[in-house]
Structure 1
Amino acid sequence: MPSTDDTAGYADSSAFSLRRIALPAFGPSLMFGIGEGAILPMIPLMARELGASIALAALMVTLLGLGSLLNNIPASFITMRWGERGAIIAAGFWSAAAMLLCLLTRRLELFGLGCFMVGMSQSVYNIARQSYLTAAVPIGYRARALSTLGGVMRIGLFVGPFLAATVVHAYGMAAAFWVGIAGVVGAALIGMRVPDLPEPAPPAGQAPVPTGWRTILREHRRVFLTLGLAVLLVSAVRASRQAVLPLWADHLLLAPAAASLIYGLAGGIEMLLFYPAGKIMDARGRRWVALPSMLIMGAALALVPFTTGFTSLLIAAMAIGFANGIGSGLIMTLGADHAPRHGRAYFLGVWRFMADLGSTAGPALVALLAAAVSLPLGVGATGAIAFTAAALMARWVPARTPQA
């Protein structure tokens, strides 16, 4: 763990209340989630309408993740240059411009550029909101705040498609993008109410030390190569579950409606657990959530190939949803625990890059093994990765909650 002098959480806990900061801290996340959730189901359909093949339409969705992955490091520079508040506002308006491009263009390459730009805005927004709460929330409330942040975003992503479905039924697919634009612009407008954070003062008698991206990478390389590797694997497992459940449902010849119901119920379980997960991490330590989350998910994923129908797959999916739910905010909290006061956004940029790299690699590994060998092997490999992540977490996550 970093020393208390180097820890980013320096807010005063004496009069702190999560409720007091709820609107400026969590309001933009809800709106941003609604905005993105509204357009996600429509992206492949709009691409098909523009003449894309099925494979190319799927690629358009991948461009969102790719835009986020490749922009994490630049996003840290934006956050350091403009501050967390400025970056949150910029991300909202940039995402709105990207959605407007997708809406107005009739050229597939420009539509793809718009999708990539939406991914870029994700990285700026995610780093800015995490950096802001890392500094603004006392360390004793940190996990609850970051778990709530992630949970609110999930609620937005859950609500967005339903709002979009309502307007799409009445006005067509393009209307979903107007819902998306309204959501992300709303996030930017609420972000304008976020107060600017003062720069942390250097220790008494010391001059400010210039901190750059390379300095952060060099000074924290041990954290990135140990706990960062564990975070990469956790992200790979979490992202893989989004491919595993629909693919195995299709393997069992379940109807699409049944597959959607299984996926939705698992997601509902996740949304119920984000605050209890954060409270446990604050009270008992990060390891109390990190290990059960990966062990349960590993066991549930290992059992998926043995499911034979709707009921057995639903039970496995609910266990996966429970495991993912109790891990809400874990990656953000671990990043906040290790981020330095000076150069915090640079550190979080690298941290998110590693997490996004895992999120990209996980589903790709499942697809590769399914195509080259078999789907059961791909699913089983994901479970093995979860157990490996649990072992690394047991080794590198501190047993006790860090103290300010």
Structure 2
Amino acid sequence: MPNILIPNVLHGCGQGAAIPILPLAAVSVTGSAAMGAVVAAMLTIGQLLMVLPAGWLITRFGERPVMLASTTATSLGGLGAYLAPSLEVLTIGALLIGSGVAVFTMARHTWITVAVPVEVRGRSLSALAGSTRLGMFAGPFLAALALHLTGDVRGGFLAIVATSVLLAAVVALAPFPAGENNGAEPKPRVFHTMWERRGVLLSLGLTISIISTMRATRRILVPLLGAAIGLDNVTVTLVVGVASGIDFSLFYLGGVVTDRWGRLAVAVPALIAFGLSHLGLALATQLPAASWWYLSSTVMMAVANGWSGGVVATMGSDLADPRSPAPFLSSWRLTTDLGSCAAPLALAALTAIFSLPVACAALAVLAAAGAAILPAHVRRHLPGNRR
């Protein structure tokens, strides 16, 4: 278990440090908030660009070498961003950090898929997700410490460099039991796998991506709705903090339920809870006792998010070829991440055209639709003992 958790805590620390520092560093270089948002987006773009190549690299070279290469890319990105004399260099650094994050995440997922017995796959991948979230919670504090010690906002990137170097040392020394690939598959076939498995990707993959969509909109809507109903910034921040604690506390329970009662026992209740909580946020601006509607909806979202922490990855592992899982897992990751990437743009469009409550209600309908159609896709594609 430490071999699973410690690397992901360190990995999450680097991600958590990058999220607040990238836009702040861009603003310090350009003086433009818009450019800060653009540079911050490079983190996600870097991840998307490397999802499919990650599957090829893992199949070709094995998990450990790829993890070491990804941590090297992340540390170089952090160092380049720290020393960046211009916006262009800072942008390249952000892309490198995002690329390293994507490749490392895929390598860890592949290793768990082949090294852990299927009977405990759900709780193992849930623990993986929970340990990453713990690291992401700690990451901003490490970045703040580095910023304070250096007196420069770009000093926060040194936290990324430090955690990446430490992570590389842990990966290099950790034992890799019978799941290590060691480059045994000579012909990685990522695009062939994507085309061959397009049916499951376009049906089950896109449907389960609604969970990723709900996670992405949650991070945006909770602070926006808090401000809309008149709560002060301190209160909203405290609510987000409490929700994060609830989220983190439930990841292992969700994994146990996934293993004992199947994937649907976690995914469907999570989608229902996401739908009800988005509807609650929509009503919070229209009904009396708005703050209670807001608080209860935020708590319900946190429960759904923590409860479902590993279910998307677990379904991907269930569907992957155990002899060479990386090509399918990279395709699965790209498909299931589409919702979280499109969600902020869709949310912004709905809010601009209609209103924030209407956007929340539309997302509630999407979650309800996902809960309704998911069982049919799961029954079609997953073995009966894992449904």
Q: TM-score, normalised by structure 2?
A: 0.92
C-alpha distance in 2 between matches for 1:390 and 1:342: 32
Supply the AA of the counterpart residue of 1:190. Answer: V
1:25 and 1:194 in contact (8 A); partners too: no
1:211, CA displacement in angstroms?
5.6
- Maintained 8 Å contact 1:68/1:356: no
- Given the alignment of the two structures, is residue 29 of structure 1 paired with residue 13 of structure 2, yes or no? no
Match of 1:255 among 207, 216, 232: 232
The Cα shift of 1:106 comes to 2.2
Q: Partner of 1:287 in structure 2?
A: 264
Q: Does 1:112 align with 2:54?
A: no
Other-structure match for 1:181? 161
Q: 2:198 aligns with which of 205, 216, 221?
A: 221
2:141 counterpart residue number: 162
Are 1:402 and 2:386 an aligned pair? yes
CA RMSD of aligned residues (A): 2.1
2:386 is paired with a residue whose SS is coil
SS in 1 for 2:231: coil
Structure 2 counterpart of 1:132: 111
Q: How far did residue 342 of structure 1 move?
A: 3.6
Q: What letter corresponds to residue 339 of structure 1 in structure 2? A: A
CA contact (8 A) 2:109 2:313 kept: yes
1:280 Cα offset (Å): 0.6
CA distance in 2, matches of 1:333, 1:298: 22
Relative to structure 1, the CA distance from residue 67 to residue 313 in structure 2 (aligned partners, 3 Å threshold; closer, same or farther) is same
**% identical aligned pairs:** 32
- For structure 2, the 5+ residue unaligned runs are none
Structure 1 residue runs of 5 or longer lacking an equivalent are 1-21, 203-207
Do 1:73 and 1:349's aligned partners in 2 also have CA atoms closer than 8 Å? yes
1:65, CA displacement in angstroms? Answer: 1.0
CA–CA distance in structure 2, aligned partners of residues 198 and 360 of structure 1: 31
Quote the offset at 1:210 in angstroms. 5.3
Equivalent residue number for residue 237 of structure 1: 214
- 1:86-124 deviation per Cα after TM superposition (whole angstroms, max 9, x unaligned): 111111111010011111012012111211111111110
Using the alignment, how far apart are the partners of 2:122 and 2:12 within structure 1?
Answer: 20
**Counterpart of 1:402 in structure 2: which amino acid?**
R
Render the CA deviation track for 1:173-201: whole Å, top value 9, x for unaligned. 2332111211122222111124263559x
Mapped partners of 1:154, 1:188: distance in 2? 19
Q: Report which of the two has the higher share of helix.
A: 2
Aligned equivalent of 1:391: 372
Cα distance in structure 2, aligned partners of 1:231 and 1:70 = 21
Q: Distance in 1 between matches of 2:359 and 2:75?
A: 37
**Structure having greater relative contact order (Cα 8 Å, sep ≥ 6):** 1
Moved more, 349-358 or 255-264: 255-264
Letter in 1 for 2:215: R
Distance 2:298 2:312 in 1: 22
Q: Show the counterpart of 2:275.
A: 298
| Deviation per residue, 1:287-327 (Å, 9 max, x gap) | 10000001011101111022154443122111100011110
Q: Which amino acid aligns with 1:238?
A: R
Counterparts of 1:66-77 in structure 2 under 5 Å?
66-77=45-56
Match for 1:370 among 319, 341, 351? 351
Partners of 1:220 and 1:113 lie apart in 2 by 33
Q: Any idea what SS the aligned residue of 2:224 has?
A: helix
Q: Report what 1:15 is aligned to.
A: none
Q: Residues 219-249 of structure 1: CA distance to partner in whole angstroms, max 9, x if unpaired?
A: 3222112111112222112111111112212
* Pairing partner for 1:275 from 238, 252, 255: 252
